[in-house]
């Protein structure tokens, strides 16, 4: 089985193996990654974290878990620009630096092994965590509690002054949704690094796992454009046009499709 097949198998099981699926995403980019070995090595980190937790009931241990991870130097990656290693889980474990989602994936796996209830929340712009039933969310990088006002401020920071906080932003998400978000993060980071072949792997994984939408097809069309694959680029523009509901964007896509049809094809 390929790394992609292993990733899909992890997500399609009766109990999705989120952390292992994320490791197979990394293995698709780095053939030296051995997910079983990394999962075994994570047990050492579990022992470290467990030894530093207070003697509280499990439902009160999520914030201490995140704080202890921070004490062990697991922090938000502050490189500028952020590089793909901030989202590749084996690199995040080595460097103890990563995007909030990547830190959250490690925290969620540790919480699972320690039987601490914890869920992912796919908040716009910044991935968060929650304890089921709690009246607040948690920042995976340090464990800060975020109440409604904090979440509104966070949303404005990432989406701008017109953004409106809604209940949908605060919903827990499943393993597949988290791997889709991880894949979109990697697609962006690889594109930013001009590693278009790696970004294409991420774009294909997104389209394999998520319901089709215009933005994901457009992202892959752009990558095919960089790679001078004109037929594939036109296919994704056509798919985006079919899925798009915004009149202004439909006009732009129609014009782009017309222009691409007049350009010579590369073989």
- End-to-end CA distance of the chain: give it in Å, rounded: 30
pLDDT higher than threshold 90 for residue 260: no
The rounded Cα 262 to chain-centroid distance in angstroms is: 37
Amino acid 267: pLDDT: 44
Token code pair at residue 162? 């017109």
Token code pair at residue 24? 């197979």
Answer yes or no: are the C-beta atoms of 152 and 50 closer than 8 Å: no
Q: Phi, psi (5° rounding) for residue 89?
A: -60, -40
Neighbours of 196 (CB within 10 A): 16
pLDDT higher than threshold 50 for residue 236: yes
Answer yes or no: are the C-beta atoms of 223 and 206 closer than 8 Å: no
Length of the chain: 267
- Domains in the chain, CATH or no CATH each: 3-173 (no CATH), 178-261 (1.25.40.10)
The rounded Cα 146 to chain-centroid distance in angstroms is: 20
pTM: 0.94
Question: pLDDT tens for residues 37-54?
Answer: 999 999 999 999 999 999
Band of pLDDT at residue 258, cut at 50, 70 and 90: confident
- Ordered DSSP codes for the chain: --HHHHHHHHHHSSS--HHHHHHHHHHHH-TT--HHHHHHHHHHHHHHHHHTS-S--GGG-HHHHHHHHHHTT-EE---SS--GGGT-HHHHHHHSEE-HHHHHHHHHHHHHHTT---EEE--TTS-EEE-TT-SSEE-TTT--EE-HHHHHHHHHHHH-TT----GGGG-EE-HHHHHHHHHHHHHHHHHHTT-HHHHHHHHHHHHHHS---HHHHHHHHHHHHHTT-HHHHHHHHHHHHHH---HHHHHHHHHHHHHHHTSPPP-
Question: pLDDT tens for residues 102-120?
Answer: 999 999 999 999 999 999 9
Q: Tell me the average pLDDT across 217-246.
A: 95
Amino acid 262: pLDDT: 64
Amino acid 186: pLDDT: 98
pLDDT higher than threshold 50 for residue 170: yes
For residues 48 and 142, what is the distance between their CA atoms, to the nearest angstrom?
A: 17
Answer yes or no: are the C-beta atoms of 110 and 50 closer than 8 Å: no
Amino acid 264: pLDDT: 57
Lowest mean pLDDT among 59-63, 107-111, 180-184, 262-266: 262-266
For residues 151 and 128, what is the distance between their CA atoms, to the nearest angstrom?
A: 10
Amino acid 238: pLDDT: 95
Amino acid 67: pLDDT: 97
Question: pLDDT tens for residues 52-92?
Answer: 999 999 999 999 999 999 999 999 998 889 999 999 999 99
């Amino acid at each position: 089985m390929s790394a992609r097949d292993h990733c899909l198998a992890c997500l399609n099981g009766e109990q999705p193996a989120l952390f292992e699926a994320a490791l197979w995403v990394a293995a698709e980019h780095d053939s030296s990654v051995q997910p079983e070995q990394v999962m075994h090595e994570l047990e050492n980190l579990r022992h470290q974290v467990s030894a530093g937790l207070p003697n509280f009931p499990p439902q009160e241990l999520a914030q201490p878990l995140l704080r202890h991870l921070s004490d062990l130097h697991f922090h938000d990656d502050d490189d500028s620009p952020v590089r793909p290693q901030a989202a590749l889980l084996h690199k995040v474990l080595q460097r103890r630096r990563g995007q909030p989602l990547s830190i959250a994936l490690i925290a969620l796996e540790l919480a699972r092994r320690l039987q601490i209830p914890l869920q992912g929340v796919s908040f716009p712009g910044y991935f968060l965590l929650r304890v089921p039933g709690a009246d607040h969310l948690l920042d995976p990088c340090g464990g800060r509690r975020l109440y409604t006002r904090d979440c509104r401020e966070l949303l404005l920071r990432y989406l701008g002054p017109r953004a409106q906080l809604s209940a949908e932003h605060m919903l827990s998400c499943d393993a597949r949704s988290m791997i889709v978000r991880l894949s979109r993060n990697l697609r962006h980071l690889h594109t930013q690094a001009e590693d278009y072949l790696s970004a294409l792997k991420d774009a294909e994984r997104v389209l394999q796992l998520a319901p089709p939408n215009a933005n994901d097809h457009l992202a892959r069309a752009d990558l095919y454009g960089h790679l001078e694959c004109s037929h594939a680029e036109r296919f994704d523009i056509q798919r985006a046009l079919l899925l798009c509901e915004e009149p202004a964007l439909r006009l732009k896509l129609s014009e782009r499709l017309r222009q691409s049809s007049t350009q010579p094809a590369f073989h």
